[in-house]
Amino acid sequence: MGPGTKVTSSVNPLDALLDALADRIVARLRNGDPSPTDDLLTPAEAAALLKVDRRWVYKHADELGAVHLTRRKLRIPRAGIERRLKRGKR
């Protein structure tokens, strides 16, 4: 693991490594092609854009085209949010 990567002892070490890897993948994806349609958002960011609760985002993750980076990390493509907003539903 590189500098700045933290592994907490309260979490399974393998889960912590997977979380660190997922964070690095998201960072690389965001730095690659900054096309707004390819952005991956956290559930909190998606909820803010949709003006819904974060739990709603988790409940409708498949419908939004969410990507599970790990068992505990979920990212939602901006394109999925935009599709939902165009349909006018929440």
Q: Which pLDDT tens digit goes with each residue over 19-30?
A: 778 877 877 777
- In this model, does residue 54 exceed pLDDT 90? yes
pTM of the model: 0.57
Q: Where are the domains of the chain?
A: 13-87
Helices and strands in the chain, H and E counts = 5, 3
Backbone conformation region of residue 29, classed left if phi is above 0, alpha if psi is from -120 to 50, else beta: alpha
Identity (one letter) of the amino acid at 66?
Answer: A
pLDDT at residue 5 tops 70:
no
Radius of gyration of the chain (CA): 14
Distance CA 7, CA 16 (A): 6
